[in-house]
Structure 1
Amino acid sequence: MKIAINIKDREIKNYLEEILSDFNIYFTEYNGVIINKFKSIDVVICDNIDDLEELALNNFKCLVLSKNPNFVEAHNFLNKGARGYANARMQKIHFVDAINCIKNGGVWLLPDIVANMVNLINQSYKQDNFAIFNVLDEREKIVANYIKDGLSNSSIAEMLNLSERTIKSISSSIYQKVGVKNRIQLVMALKNI
């Protein structure tokens, strides 16, 4: 997998070089190099909104890093075309997960950012779209309600006395039946947004 890294912060660059050594990494501080030379890049990792906008306009899948991630910043980056938003110092396993998710067309966010988004949607839109529940079986309805309430997979698993893997499987089935790709889209569909 090919990754371009356009990060100005030397400390973050060094950290990424260390933990992402299993990937083909290309470092540059110039979008023009990425746009003109690296058209086959799978994911670009960057850290500022100006770079993101230019890269997103050229159809690059971008993971944006922040030393102090927060909901407002995540919202701004996502609106400008980011496919992922992460803590610059997160563990390797999370970077690999984020990169694979973005490469495969998904959106990757920090779990607390997702929880904040779900809570904001629930506060802003009080009425549920109950018609969606008609396509779900009973277990899926229960899990969908918990997702709508902002619970994590591990919390849902604990409440239902099921494994987290089972909850992920049920969630995937829900997403497929409802025609969404992730929990934020599910909550938006359940709130008829």
Structure 2
Amino acid sequence: MQVILFTQSSALNNIWRGYFTDNNNIKFIHNRKEFFSHLDADIVGIDIDIFKDNIDDTIKSINDKYPNIKILILSNRPKIDEGKRLLALGIKGYANSHMRKMHFEDAFETISNGNIWLYPEFIQAMIGELTGSYINSEGEKADKKADLSELSSREREIANLIYQGLTNNEISEKTGITLRTVKAHTTSIYSKLNVKDRIGLVLLMKQLDV
């Protein structure tokens, strides 16, 4: 997995380089010309402040020219309305540019696996806005009589931690189980509840009033 992180902020650049000094799979770019001439990564993390008012056009351009590249937008001041708008344009992640290293790593892996990654506060804000029925990954209305009874006790614990907005790394730290085991449990949870990812799980649990 090759990742590009693009910012013109020396402060952000120092933070990100500090996280990934020894990671040869992550490249740091500082100017637009170099960025647009070296888009050969699987994931590009873009500091939204670089593009400001034309971020929408930038996203559309990248998606049109490089459909296999997955975009992670990073903001000093992430906002739910902005995040929802950018998700509709096809980005695969929206996050705080000052988040911790473990969140970056979780975002990279989640996005690489074809899922969407959102910072925990964004998910909680979405929960607060939700109304109506959840539509599952097959486009069907979820059964309101469904519950979490098919999950093991450990799976229910992990599902609740995901609902609270914790990342896989944070769940691993909190429960004392390995990150690999957390991932295995989340895969099982999604399969049993017929949801695609953690967003789908959160929406379903919200509807079920868990």
TM-score by length of 1: 0.70
Could you tell me how far apart the structure 2 residues matched to 1:44 and 1:103 are?
11
Matched, 1:23 2:15: no
Taking only aligned residues, the RMSD between alpha carbons, in angstroms, comes to 3.6
Cα deviation 1:83-105 (Å, max 9, x = unaligned): 11111112222212211221222
- In structure 2, the CA distance between the partners of 1:43 and 1:126, relative to structure 1 (3 Å rule), is closer
Alignment check: 8 A CA contact 1:153 1:168 kept? no
Higher helix share: 1
Alignment check: 8 A CA contact 2:3 2:43 kept? yes
- In structure 2, the CA distance between the partners of 1:28 and 1:53, relative to structure 1 (3 Å rule), is farther
Alignment check: 8 A CA contact 2:120 2:166 kept? no
Of 118, 125, 128, which residue of structure 2 is paired with 1:116? 125
Matched, 1:151 2:158: no
Paired position in structure 1 for 2:51: none
Total equivalences in the alignment = 177
| Per-residue deviation, 1:73 | 2.2
List gaps (5 residues or longer) in structure 1: 155-161
- In structure 2, the CA distance between the partners of 1:68 and 1:28, relative to structure 1 (3 Å rule), is same
| Aligned-partner SS, 2:74 | strand
Of 98, 102, 112, which residue of structure 1 is paired with 2:111? 102
| Aligned-partner SS, 1:90 | coil
Could you tell me how far apart the structure 1 residues matched to 2:146 and 2:28 are?
45
Could you tell me how far apart the structure 1 residues matched to 2:36 and 2:6 are?
12
Paired position in structure 1 for 2:144: 130
Cα deviation 1:152-187 (Å, max 9, x = unaligned): 569xxxxxxx94758875543221123322232134
Paired position in structure 2 for 1:183: 198
- In structure 2, the CA distance between the partners of 1:20 and 1:77, relative to structure 1 (3 Å rule), is farther
Paired position in structure 1 for 2:96: 87
Paired position in structure 2 for 1:55: 62
| Aligned-partner SS, 1:130 | coil
| Aligned-partner SS, 1:8 | coil
Identity %: 25
Cα deviation 1:51-70 (Å, max 9, x = unaligned): 33322332211111111123
Could you tell me how far apart the structure 2 residues matched to 1:88 and 1:77 are?
16
Of 46, 71, 76, which residue of structure 2 is paired with 1:67? 76
Could you tell me how far apart the structure 2 residues matched to 1:153 and 1:17 are?
24
